[in-house]
Amino acid sequence: MKRIFVTLATILVFSITAFSQDATIYLWRNVKGMEKQPSVMFMHKAEKTSSETNAAVIVCPGGSYHHLGLKGEGNTTATWFAKNGVTAFVLKYRTAESFYHHPAMLQDIQRAIQLVRENAAEWNIDPNKVGVIGFSAGGHLVTMAGEFFETHNEIEKLGIQTNVSLRPDFVIPVYPVVTMQDDIAHRWSRNSLLGSGKKNQTQERKDEFSIEMNVPDNMPPTYVVVCKDDPVVIYENSFRLYDALQAKKIPSRLAVYDWGGHGFGMKDNAFMKEFHWNQALKEWLVELGVMN
């Protein structure tokens, strides 16, 4: 009965938005027990160009798991992908600002992946080319999606049957929060994700949500971006992630820049003008067959 209910809900939501250039998809509308959850994603359809590959990407802005930088890290990123032939979905996931902690964030990104794949034919998307990109805390979220699709299936825990894979096909963490360990953890993000206090932040939980400690053998190809002068998230976070990926022989790349700080996103700023970091990313995506 639950399967029928969710399918009908999906039809209801998408019939309203399918023909909008910038459609709004409500992740949990009419899903029993989740109806009041505010999570949405905003679709930016791929421009009809010769570079279109029918790939899709889910964009997760940062904000310390407390709030979201939807404009600077969300919309600008989605626009760039759409112009390069990739349909993009900006995910407005739940955060601690509205009193949400784990598993809300992981539920949202797994649900987003599920819906994109289930509606791939309608949206002209190749279900085998669905990836994720995230910034700062959003970088932690997308790497969780790349790691936990089997061990932490939060969708099935809600009683929703998933007939598609929750594994993203590629993962792009940009100046990401990675570790929950005390020495270099971004503590605001950790508090927002796990909740504050010793009860919520046991060593066991810190280990469980430290990305570098949980890389599976089937982690998707991963492209990490970081600047050495990052004043917010200590850049060694990215090095720990990359070392863990290399140890498991996961196809991965680490793009390190001497300066650029934190929060540059895909905005037209001094860092972008100097390094054009998205062009280096594009070369990697072309190698994967995500872009042409």
pLDDT tens string 204-242: 999 999 999 999 999 999 999 999 999 999 999 999 999
| 8 A C-beta contact, residue 95 and residue 24 | no
Rg (CA), the chain: 18
Alpha helices (H) in 171-214, listed in sequence order: 187-194, 203-208
| 8 A C-beta contact, residue 65 and residue 108 | no
pLDDT tens string 97-111: 999 999 999 999 999
pLDDT, position 18: 39
pLDDT, position 50: 60
pLDDT, position 13: 46
Going from the N-terminus, what domains does the chain have, and what CATH number goes with each?
A: 2-288 (3.40.50.1820)
CA atoms of 252 and 219, how far apart (whole Å): 10
Q: Is the peptide bond before 103 cis (omega within 30 degrees of 0)?
A: yes
pLDDT, position 22: 76
pLDDT, position 21: 46
List, for the chain, all residue ranges whose pLDDT scores fall below the cut of 50.
1-21
Our measurement of the distance from residue 205's CA atom to the centroid of its chain's CA atoms, rounded to an integer in Å, reads 21
**For the chain, what is the mean pLDDT?**
92
pLDDT, position 156: 95
